[in-house]
Chain A
């Protein structure tokens, strides 16, 4: 029992750090969207509004929890906790302060894929258990969207794994010390970003929780603590999705070495800079696009993105076999 490892897992860079990053991403999201629209964004709570997401979360914890009479009480009370665990556990597999993540093992990429599918399944069950007319529509849209985005996302992740010849995140990061993966498989990165926006339900894919059409989609009947944790989970999922993109395609925390600084600080700083860059890319895309309909989203994923990701895999394998690229 190494006490340092336990402390690391709980505080930094484990659970509390991830939750703090979730709040930070929420604040950045609201601030940049506001500035791009000519507004100010959060301002009063904390210096320049940085404590606003924490204040929103705490307020929700104090509110009364109302459960509809014909909803399934067990699922209502316990499933949000399951949903919260999925991205939190997955963050333990990402190397943040060194090349060894907190809980990595040889096939942890498969564990990450399983947790992604598990999270979507829990959401479908949550949405179906609150039986009202709006959530029924939202469940249909949710499952349809999940079926559409999962395949391109998994194919994009597998492309990085195939090229780096490793099924653990640590191995993929370590294999990028000469050249980042994004220069070899840029289309996989683009497909991954689009599929990530569909998973996080950010515009143009926020169809299952469309605020102006079906009240709040699958979030409609939740209130109080459950709503607080569901919203927090979305933010943590955002952090995790960007962290995965950074590890698989942008080389994790690897970068040019500078003397005089301990290696973990350097690693951490590079990782954070890349994380912010990916987050900023998604902020810009999210603010500048309208919401499309579910039929059009399905068409986009099946007709355009899946063929692109398949073509990308074929291209990479062909180039590696033909000796033009050297597999690392």
Chain B
């Protein structure tokens, strides 16, 4: 039975006082993030072909496909669609990134997404051209 004493934590308290504190002074200091960090979505518009797989697998309903007209392939008229993302609803699961066969989507390291204007969070990069 170990001896009971008052102030058993005092030696460790003095040791902690001399060491460097373990506080990260965010936002005055930058936080270093690991490389697998799942932050805000980013799309490369050149690689996207409009195959709609990302819109079908998204669990939160973030991705909507927008009709941008048609194009001629041989003698057929095929519809051209591109996605827009409502990032305010995104749950950062990464399903769209994993399922994109053309590697057009990636998750950046940006996590400071608070904004007073909801339109800032609608990503229309794929339909910009």
Contacts and interface: CB of A to CB of B under 8 A. Distances in A.
Interface size class of A (residues with CB under 8 A): 10 to 19
Contacts of B6: 289
B16 A36 contact: yes
A33 to B, nearest CB: 9
A285 B16 contact: no
Contacts of A37: 13, 16
A37 B8 CA distance: 14
Contact of A284 (B8, B10, B23): B10
Interface string A9-38: 000000000000000000000001011111
A287 interface: yes
A285 B10 CA distance: 8
Nearest to B16: A38
Contacts of A34: 21
Contact of B23 (A32, A39, A285, A287): A39
A226 B7 CA distance: 35
A36 B13 contact: yes
B23 A35 contact: no
B114 interface: no
B127 to A, nearest CB: 44
A32 B13 CA distance: 10
Contact of B17 (A35, A285, A289): A35
A40 interface: yes
A39 B21 contact: yes
A38 B19 contact: yes
Interface string A300-320: 000000000000000000000
Contacts of B117: none
A321 interface: no
B9 A35 contact: no
A35 B76 CA distance: 73
Nearest to B6: A289
Contacts of B13: 36-37, 284, 287-288
**Interface of B, helix, strand, loop or mixed by DSSP:** loop
A27 B13 CA distance: 18
Contact of A38 (B9, B21, B25): B21
Interface string B1-14: 00000111110011
A40 B16 contact: no
A40 B14 CA distance: 15
Contact of A40 (B7, B10, B23): B23
Contact of B9 (A32, A39, A40, A288): A288
B22 interface: yes
B16 A289 contact: no
A285 B17 CA distance: 15
Given A36-B14, A37-B16, A289 B21 contact: no
B14 to A, nearest CB: 7
Interface string A195-219: 0000000000000000000000000
B19 to A, nearest CB: 7
Given A35-B16, A35-B17, A289-B6, 11 more contacts: A32-B17, A34-B21, A36-B14, A36-B17, A37-B16, A38-B21, A38-B22, A39-B23, A40-B25, A287-B13, A288-B13
Interface of B: 6-10, 13-14, 16-17, 19, 21-23, 25
21 contacts: A34-B21, A35-B17, A36-B16, A36-B17, A37-B13, A38-B16, A38-B19, A39-B23, A40-B21, A40-B25, A284-B10, A284-B13, A285-B7, A287-B13, A288-B7, A288-B8, A288-B9, A288-B10, A288-B13, A289-B6, A289-B7
